Structure 1
Amino acid sequence: MAGVLQFLIESVSAFYIGHSLMGTTVPGMMQGLLEEPVEMQILNGAPLEWQWKEAHHAQGVNGRKWLPGHAVEALVITERVPLAPAMEYHDSLGYAAKWVELARQSNPRVKPYLYQTWDYIEPGSTRAWRDRIMADLPQWQAIADHVNRDLPEGAEPMRLVPVGLGMVRLHDAAEAGKVPGATSIRDFFLDDIHPTEKGGCYYIAMINYATLTGKSPVGLTNRIPGGGGPYPQVPQEQAAVLQELAWQVVQEFGAD
């Protein structure tokens, strides 16, 4: 038991449950940044309900079977978007709680996180997309608040990984000409919703790193190591700005 507790104190291991707005890339980047084991269950397009019921079809491991036998320090889950219909028809509150309860079976002090995302970028101005992220924030917080009701003694509360808020910050910085190599938030997306690996996922990984560790990502590598070789290198000047933006968002959100 002492060995397990010492491991949990000295390292950060994580389990990610999500869809294509997380993909295998973000957990893979986190493993490279943390230099600790990171596992994942990825089921594209799935709300938390389907993640629970169809875990055996996911990429990575079956979290329903894997989590009870593996103590992880951090559990990071996300919900499908658009968020409002997912909450209405797929019991986001209930299934978020189920996943956290499952992780607590192997580590009662697991730190649960809700990975806040974004919606589709519509043609034309990106302002509506930006504002919709802000409008959806209370719904994301409502999921965390539900999980945090009647916390068991000694249990960690669920916190948000403010990736959506990070996208708002990046949107504004790019529009203001403050991000080298970018003039629009669209420069960080492959299409109308999926982030690029080179810049978008890198930025998301910086936000995750700052949230899970409480440490600044400023100064981290601009070429994250991966299991099949390093991820695409982000230009140094751009990486430095993304690191700063990520740290600002996490600090400001955590201070609220």
Structure 2
Amino acid sequence: MKCSIIACGIALFGWIVVDSAAPALAGETPVTCPAITHIRFFPRKGHAQRMLRGRFTGSDDGRTTDFRTIAEIRETPPEGQWTEIRLGRPVRYRYVKYESPLNGWGNVAEIEFWSGDAKIRGEAFGTTGSRDNSGNDFTKALDGNVDTFFDGAEPHNQYVGLDLGPAVQTAAPQLQPPPGAYPTTQSVTITCSTSAATIRFTRNSGSPSRDSGEIYRGPVKVEKGTVLAVVAYAENLAASPTVIAPYRIGEGAADSKTVRTYHIGNSLTDTVDGWLVAVARSAGRSLDFHRFTIPGAPTDWLWNHPGTGFGDSRYAEAFFVLAPIDHIFTQPFAGHNRSIDNEADHSGRFFELCRKHSPDVQAWLYVQWPGPQFNDAWSAGKGAAAGLNLKPASTWQEAVANHVAYTEAVADLINKTYRGKPVRIVPGGPAMARLKTAMDRGEVPGMKDFFAEMFADGIHLTPRGRYLIALVHYCCIYGQSAEGKAAALTTQLTDKQARIFQRIAWETVRDYPRAGIGARGQAPK
């Protein structure tokens, strides 16, 4: 039987079925990054079709961001046996995972990444929970038992993977002086603590790779507003994380006040991780960004699991240490379909606890967006949104409006008892909807396919999508437009396209009363 797989995005391969009793070789603790040569997986028994259009991906930037396809499953795999994918070219990543397709529920019995005859080891990670709290969480796909299986808490956007650890990765480059606003030309020195590392960088467009971008050979002269994207590479190691470093020279030196933010949510909150600070710095602002995120987690799970996940995860202690915090954000999410009462209760708990040490903090609920097929409960006016008398969405923009209605109901309920400033709403989804309408009308030169441009998968965003959402957050936090101020970073948007993104972000925030701009709003001059 032959099935279609695209491996490394460059070649077409058939299935190679191997003995399910083949031993799993342990391998030693890595001092280099193992090169992935092949991948093995065993479908959940009776549900192999749920792996169709699933993919294996890798990243060097984090467990939730910037994953690239290693191999994609194009046909239903055979039932009841191991399948092996041989890659046309070995690849190295610190983070590797299996991403289940829409309606796949994460279903897979086992996944294995191999380097030659050695099975690759690492720390397991994945989306949180299991269907009906059955206990069939992501760890079941890595327990070596084909009779157990991962059955996620939600039908979409489930994944399971391995973090190979910092020892396999080139260290992140360090820049001096650090990114920011300066009155005169700067000579930027870039270093990497990994021995014999090659440093590559780009200016104002895209990100470097092992084979592209300028090779760093000495201090980089920055005479005008510039965004450096820097990556370090070392032999037999995964690439470093990408460092995005905006420099603003001359007019528009940074504000003396640093704004401190704290963001709570799942991987959609991580949409702005690495982007919001870069947008703010490129616009001459100083922002101190903190987060507590767990992939796939609803707000109640986050409240009940401090000390897990990513960022400043011991939130009670963080609220004390980081005080005063200027803005705090939580993230209701349709995939969790929590009741309005539940979401208001747990978001409200975070807000009140933060206020204990930061009484002037501004609380925000962050509205995201439905997937391209908008087949979630809120889009249909069902589930937790059933009591809001919403019509089932017939367009993607209508689905966004239903998500907003749910979030507004949560904010209204919190505000009945919350003792701080009225809770505001970050209109991320509405900005996406406005951009889609503009693209559909042909008003964004060179961009026609909204979903291809903005979505990396069924819910997560491309760099261009992340840039737009970071701009929306910027407008909410600072009460002003970023048009003509923020750089396009690594989006590869033209100047005209970037200004359209900036204008749409500002107009969405300005025109949405629950964003609270009012008299403090400032349009570009």
| TM, length-normalised to structure 2 | 0.42
**Greater helix share, structure number:** 1
Aligned pair partner of 2:261 in 14, 37, 42: 14
Aligned equivalent of 2:422:
157
In structure 2, what is the Cα distance between the partners aligned to 1:127 and 1:44? 29
Q: Read off the aligned partner of 2:512 and give its amino acid letter.
A: F
SS at match of 2:470: helix
Mapped contact 1:52–1:95 kept (Cα < 8 A): yes
Bigger radius of gyration among the two:
2
Aligned pair partner of 2:455 in 176, 183, 189: 189
Aligned equivalent of 1:6:
none
Aligned pair partner of 1:73 in 326, 333, 343: 326
Q: Read off the aligned partner of 1:67 and give its amino acid letter.
A: F
Bigger CA drift: 57-66 or 44-53? 57-66
Answer yes or no: is 1:253 the counterpart of 2:512. yes
Aligned pair partner of 2:275 in 29, 38, 43: 29
Q: CA deviation at 1:46?
A: 0.9
In structure 2, what is the Cα distance between the partners aligned to 1:81 and 1:66? 27
Q: CA deviation at 1:232?
A: 4.3
Aligned pair partner of 1:235 in 494, 499, 506: 494
**Deviation digits for residues 23-81 of structure 1, max 9, x if unmatched?**
1x513222221422111111111110011112322111112331133221000111222
Q: 1:9-158 counterparts in 2 under 5 A?
A: 10-23=257-270, 25-32=271-278, 33=280, 34-62=285-313, 63-71=315-323, 72-82=325-335, 85-87=337-339, 91-122=342-373, 128-152=395-419, 155-158=420-423
**Greater strand share, structure number:** 2
Aligned pair partner of 1:211 in 465, 468, 476: 476
Aligned equivalent of 1:3:
none
Q: Given the superposition, is the C-alpha separation of residues 95 and 203 from structure 1 closer, same or farther in structure 2, using an over 3 Å criterion?
A: same
SS at match of 1:179: coil
In structure 2, what is the Cα distance between the partners aligned to 1:28 and 1:160? 21
Q: CA deviation at 1:193?
A: 1.2
In structure 2, what is the Cα distance between the partners aligned to 1:232 and 1:165? 20
SS at match of 2:446: coil
In structure 1, what is the Cα distance between the partners aligned to 2:483 and 2:408? 27
Q: CA deviation at 1:127?
A: 5.8
Q: CA deviation at 1:148?
A: 1.3
How many pairs does the alignment contain?
A: 235
Structure 1 stretches lacking a partner, 5+ long? 1-8, 225-230
CA RMSD of aligned residues (A): 2.3
In structure 2, what is the Cα distance between the partners aligned to 1:136 and 1:115? 11
In structure 1, what is the Cα distance between the partners aligned to 2:445 and 2:267? 26
In structure 2, what is the Cα distance between the partners aligned to 1:218 and 1:209? 11
Q: Read off the aligned partner of 2:413 and give its amino acid letter.
A: H
In structure 1, what is the Cα distance between the partners aligned to 2:355 and 2:509? 25
Aligned equivalent of 2:434:
169
Mapped contact 1:68–1:102 kept (Cα < 8 A): no
Q: Read off the aligned partner of 1:183 and give its amino acid letter.
A: K
In structure 2, what is the Cα distance between the partners aligned to 1:219 and 1:65? 38
SS at match of 1:37: strand
Q: 1:219-230 counterparts in 2 under 5 A?
A: 219-224=484-489
SS at match of 2:472: helix
**Deviation digits for residues 98-121 of structure 1, max 9, x if unmatched?**
010111011111000111011221
Aligned equivalent of 2:131:
none
The answer to which structure, 1 or 2, has the higher relative contact order (CA under 8 A, 6+ apart) is 1
In structure 2, what is the Cα distance between the partners aligned to 1:64 and 1:127? 42
Q: Given the superposition, is the C-alpha separation of residues 35 and 223 from structure 1 closer, same or farther in structure 2, using an over 3 Å criterion?
A: farther
Aligned equivalent of 2:28:
none
In structure 1, what is the Cα distance between the partners aligned to 2:460 and 2:435? 15
In structure 2, what is the Cα distance between the partners aligned to 1:109 and 1:73? 7
SS at match of 2:292: strand
Q: CA deviation at 1:233?
A: 4.2
In structure 2, what is the Cα distance between the partners aligned to 1:235 and 1:163? 22
